[in-house]
């Protein structure tokens, strides 16, 4: 199994989006986009690849152009005119129309959020599950493949693994799937043991105080 392509990093970034309202709106447009692709009888993967290219090759390389699209000062008709001029002979008619729909609704500023939701929905359709694996050192190919196999069996889908490195994860591993964290790190185990000792000591001290007070009362 190969490691995730760079474009898929946007999927994990989506987990950090704090504005739930924006997520909901982006999801609505993402569903509409994929629905329009299916209604036209076009290939979902081709449409998703075009969206990936738009983000990677256009927005990521031209901050000024993205600023124009996201601007609340520039009129909608001007933005649509820019889209027509720039993408008329470069984008598919369906994708260009979708960008113009976003422009007409004043939603071009959330196009990246829409993109992330498109990736999420497409991965869900294909049974792909984003997983973040944090380890003290980068996983070797053998360990990566072995972990992927175990996750595949546990999750019932194809894990799309992103390996992050954190030296504080001493000899262990922390696996995050959505909002669920499977923490198997030695560091966390040590902290749990330490907390257990503190709790037990606190309980014993309190018990002694209670016994002492009861003795005074007699």
> Would you say domain 128-218 falls under CATH 3.40.30?
yes
- 94, 36 in Cβ contact below 8 A? yes
Give the pLDDT confidence score for residue 22 in this predicted structure. Answer: 87
In angstroms, the CA 191 to CA 154 distance is 26
Give the pLDDT confidence score for residue 99 in this predicted structure. Answer: 97
HSE of 47, CA atoms in CB hemisphere, 13 A:
27
Query: How many residues does the structure list for the chain?
Result: 218
Give the pLDDT confidence score for residue 12 in this predicted structure. Answer: 39
Q: Where are the domains of the chain?
A: 6-124, 128-218
The CATH number, out of the four listed (1.10.3720.10, 3.20.20.330, 1.10.520.20, 3.30.70.1290), of the domain defined by the range 6-124: 1.10.520.20
Give the pLDDT confidence score for residue 70 in this predicted structure. Answer: 93
Q: 56-82 burial, b if ≥16 CB within 10 A, otherwise e?
A: eebbeeeeeebeebbeeeeeeeebbee
Q: What is the DSSP letter of 191?
A: H
Give the pLDDT confidence score for residue 18 in this predicted structure. Answer: 42
- Do the first three CATH levels of 6-124 and 128-218 match, i.e. the same topology? no
Give the pLDDT confidence score for residue 198 in this predicted structure. Answer: 63
Give the pLDDT confidence score for residue 145 in this predicted structure. Answer: 87
Give the pLDDT confidence score for residue 197 in this predicted structure. Answer: 59
Which mean pLDDT values do the consecutive 10-residue runs of the chain (218 residues) have? 42 43 91 93 92 96 95 95 94 96 94 94 89 86 86 87 85 80 65 62 67 56
Q: What are phi and psi of 157, to 5 degrees?
A: -155, 180
In angstroms, the CA 85 to CA 103 distance is 14
Q: Which ranges of the chain does DSSP label H, i.e. alpha helix?
A: 9-13, 20-39, 44-53, 63-70, 76-87, 93-104, 111-125, 141-155, 186-217
């Amino acid at each position: 199994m190969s490691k995730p392509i760079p474009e898929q990093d946007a999927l994990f970034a989506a987990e950090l989006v704090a504005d739930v309202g924006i997520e909901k709106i982006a999801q609505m447009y993402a569903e509409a986009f994929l629905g329009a692709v299916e209604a036209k009888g076009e290939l979902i993967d081709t449409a998703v690849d075009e969206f990936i290219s738009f983000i990677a090759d256009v927005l990521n390389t031209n901050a000024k152009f993205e600023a124009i699209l996201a601007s609340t000062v520039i009129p909608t008709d001007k933005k649509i005119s820019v889209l027509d001029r720039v993408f008329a002979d470069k984008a598919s008619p369906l994708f260009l129309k979708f960008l113009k729909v976003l422009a007409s609704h004043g939603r071009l500023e959330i196009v990246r959020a829409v993109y992330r939701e498109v990736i999420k929905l497409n991965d869900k359709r294909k049974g792909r599950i984003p997983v973040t694996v944090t380890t003290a050192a980068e996983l070797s190919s053998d360990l990566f493949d072995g972990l992927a196999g175990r996750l595949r069996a546990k999750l019932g889908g194809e894990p799309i693994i992103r390996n992050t490195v954190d030296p504080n994860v001493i000899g262990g591993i922390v696996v995050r799937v959505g909002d669920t964290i499977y923490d198997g790190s030695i560091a966390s185990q040590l902290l749990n043991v330490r907390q257990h000792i503190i709790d037990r000591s606190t309980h014993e001290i309190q018990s002694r105080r209670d016994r002492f007070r009861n003795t005074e009362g007699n």
